[in-house]
């Protein structure tokens, strides 16, 4: 047994002992149905906590309701936990005056979803309707009207201890870490581990990810975790470098060269000596311009400034980033970027969306007293200015949205909601809906299709086209999220050419 690193004072159950409420221990790579708390009216600081549902061929139902268990309960009560790498920490029983003691019966079903039956007085909401019961697939959400909202996902019973991430975990559950990474999902912790592993090595780096997934943040984290952190990160958007000036921009020039009056410049390479050079959107550079980097990368930093006949040497590390496929880069440059990290989009980590929305709101409120005073509740132990007040319907819409520009898009939706919300809660206003619809109808943002309309052959063709990179496949097929694609792969018996668990 150990202490909770978040400082809650609760007991930490070590992963080897954790049985997932009677379902038997899951393997390290196994996943099971889980419910993530995405919104709570009375306990917003608990967003991100998880209910790990039992495994096995005939798992028993569990009872979700207010307060601790009693002898007259119809089933064993669910337990909310906080998952961190290497530990599972049980938290307090569910609160909320509007939730009945025996509110929902929850049972895992085949395919990774859950069957939910309403027993209590608070209406059950699913797909915008009040219902008595519902079958909820992974990636879908449901809620108790005005009280809480839950997202159904698949989750490992334990998160493996990272190879490289510091043993001291983030002190506040759900908050941004010291390097700005937000999230408690397996994907978020895997990213932290990858960044720490890369930071401790020397080869040059390529960061891959769609627009808005946080490539600049990842580059800054790698630099800050490295032994080069004592020097400032040198960053430039490669697409803004004029073709005729790329050598001067990269390598610098001596005074009065190539034109009289030119000042002496060290260039990006010289400025990054002893530090890290981050070139964003490197895929926007034509192959010819990408080739200008090859010699300095091959010769351990040897280069010449324009107008100078002697060699200089810069001890620098290049971190390049692109939203294009890695293969779109000039193959000679790609071969020199030996370390790679692929950033996942919000569709692959939907449980982090409410946490990221909270972080963005807190960042806004830090610089805006009016927004902080109007839309926030202070709570002891909550990060930043406190807990933002969102409406349930806004969180439901954010979870259901098909994101194309990810955190950047989420930020735009929140600003639209802030600017147009009446009262003291940030809600799904017509302006926020219009922002979501604008992204949905933009090129490449067609509405989701019905899974039944897709044939096995069309799914197989798209998988092969994208080398089974599922993040690209579900978007091209027009599916709602990756979980829908996973179900179709299993339904049609398609063999995935990766060992990744779905």
461 or 107, higher pLDDT: 107
What CA–CA distance (Å, rounded) separates 140 from 134? 11
The residues, any chain, with a CB within 8 Å of residue 141's CB and separated by 6 or more, are 38, 149, 150, 151, 152, 396, 399, 400
Tokens representing residue 17 in the block: 């002992």
H, E, C per residue of 49-98: CEEECCCCCCCCCEEECCCCCCCCCCCCECCEEEEECCEEEECCCCCCCC
What CA–CA distance (Å, rounded) separates 68 from 81? 14
The residues, any chain, with a CB within 8 Å of residue 196's CB and separated by 6 or more, are 162, 164, 165, 166, 225
Q: Is the pLDDT of residue 4 over 70?
A: no
What pLDDT, on the 0 to 100 scale, is given for residue 379?
Answer: 60
CA distances from 64 to 82, 118, 150, 221 (A): 17, 10, 11, 39
What CA–CA distance (Å, rounded) separates 469 from 476? 11
Read off the pLDDT of residues 7-29 as tens digits, 9 standing for 90 and up: 344 444 433 333 334 333 333 34
- Report the number of secondary-structure helices (H) and strands (E) in the chain: 15, 23
Answer whether 414's CB lies under 8 Å from 394's CB: no
Fold of 186-344: Rossmann fold (3.40.50)
Q: Over range 277-296, report the average pLDDT.
A: 93
| Sequence ranges of the chain with CATH classification 2.60.200.20 | 1-161
Read off the pLDDT of residues 464-497 as tens digits, 9 standing for 90 and up: 777 677 767 877 787 766 767 877 888 888 875 4
What pLDDT, on the 0 to 100 scale, is given for residue 28?
Answer: 36
Q: Over range 93-114, report the average pLDDT.
A: 93
| Sequence ranges of the chain with CATH classification 3.40.50.300 | 186-344
**Cα dihedral value 144, 148, 150, 156, nearest 10:** -130
What pLDDT, on the 0 to 100 scale, is given for residue 499?
Answer: 36
Read off the pLDDT of residues 37-51 as tens digits, 9 standing for 90 and up: 999 999 999 999 999
Nearest CA among 214, 64, 73, 212 for reference residue 143: 64
410's enclosing H/E stretch is helix 406-420
Q: Is the pLDDT of residue 155 over 50?
A: yes
Q: Is the pLDDT of residue 111 over 80?
A: no
Fold of 1-161: Tumour Suppressor Smad4 (2.60.200)
Nearest CA among 357, 392, 358, 399 for reference residue 141: 399
The Cα diameter of the chain in Å comes to 90
What CA–CA distance (Å, rounded) separates 178 from 240? 30
Read off the pLDDT of residues 231-271 as tens digits, 9 standing for 90 and up: 999 999 999 988 888 888 999 988 878 777 778 889 999 99
What pLDDT, on the 0 to 100 scale, is given for residue 502?
Answer: 33
Per-position DSSP letters for 422-480, written without gaps between them:
-TTSB---HHHHHHHHHHHTSTT-PPPPPGGG--HHHHHHHHHHTTT-HHHHHHHHT-S
What pLDDT, on the 0 to 100 scale, is given for residue 214?
Answer: 96
96-105, 106-115, 316-325: least confidently modelled range: 106-115
């Amino acid at each position: 047994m150990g202490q909770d690193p978040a400082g809650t004072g609760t007991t930490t159950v070590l992963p080897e002992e954790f049985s997932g409420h009677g379902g038997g221990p899951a393997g390290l790579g196994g996943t099971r149905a889980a419910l993530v708390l995405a919104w709570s009216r009375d306990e917003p600081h608990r967003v991100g906590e998880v209910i790990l549902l039992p495994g096995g061929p005939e798992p028993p139902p569990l009872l979700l309701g207010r307060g601790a268990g009693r002898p007259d309960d119809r089933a064993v009560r669910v337990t909310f936990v906080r998952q961190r790498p290497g530990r599972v920490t049980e938290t307090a029983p569910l609160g909320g005056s509007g939730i009945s003691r025996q509110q929902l019966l929850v049972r895992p079903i085949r395919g990774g979803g859950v069957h939910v039956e309403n027993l209590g007085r608070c209406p059950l909401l699913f797909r915008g309707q009040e219902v008595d019961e519902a079958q909820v697939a992974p990636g879908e959400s449901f809620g108790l009207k005005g009280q809480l909202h839950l997202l159904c996902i698949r989750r490992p019973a334990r998160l493996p201890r990272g190879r490289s991430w510091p043993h001291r975990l983030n002190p506040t559950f759900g908050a941004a870490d010291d390097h700005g990474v937000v999230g408690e999902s397996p994907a978020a912790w895997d990213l932290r581990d990858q960044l720490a592993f890369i930071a401790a090595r020397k080869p040059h780096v390529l960061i891959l990810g769609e627009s808005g997934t946080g490539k600049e943040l990842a580059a800054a984290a790698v630099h800050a975790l490295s032994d080069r952190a004592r020097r400032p990160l040198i960053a430039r958007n490669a697409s803004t470098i004029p073709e005729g000036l790329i050598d001067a921009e990269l390598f610098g020039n001596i005074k009065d060269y190539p034109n009289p009056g030119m000042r002496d410049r060290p260039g990006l390479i010289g400025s990054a000596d002893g530090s890290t050079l981050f070139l964003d959107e490197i895929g926007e550079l034509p192959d010819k311009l990408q080739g200008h980097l090859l010699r300095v990368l091959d010769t351990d930093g040897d280069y010449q400034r324009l107008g100078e006949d002697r060699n200089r040497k810069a001890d620098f590390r290049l971190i390049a980033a692109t939203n294009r496929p890695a293969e779109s880069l000039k193959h000679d440059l790609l071969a020199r970027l030996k370390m790679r990290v692929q950033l996942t989009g919000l569709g692959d980590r939907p449980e982090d969306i409410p946490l990221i929305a909270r972080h963005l709101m807190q960042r806004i409120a830090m610089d805006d007293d009016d927004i902080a005073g109007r839309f926030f509740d202070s709570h002891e132990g909550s990060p930043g200015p406190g807990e933002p007040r969102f409406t349930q319907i806004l969180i439901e819409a954010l979870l259901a949205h098909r994101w194309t520009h990810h955190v950047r898009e989420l930020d735009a939706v929140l600003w639209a909601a802030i600017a147009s919300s009446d009262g003291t809660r940030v809600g799904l206003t017509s302006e926020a809906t219009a922002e979501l619809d604008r992204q949905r109808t933009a090129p490449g943002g067609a509405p989701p299709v019905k899974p039944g309309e897709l044939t096995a052959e069309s799914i197989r063709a798209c998988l092969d086209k994208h080398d089974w990179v599922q993040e690209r496949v579900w978007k091209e097929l027009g599916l709602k999220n990756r979980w829908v694609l996973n179900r179709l792969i299993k339904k049609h018996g398609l063999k995935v050419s990766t060992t990744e668990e779905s």
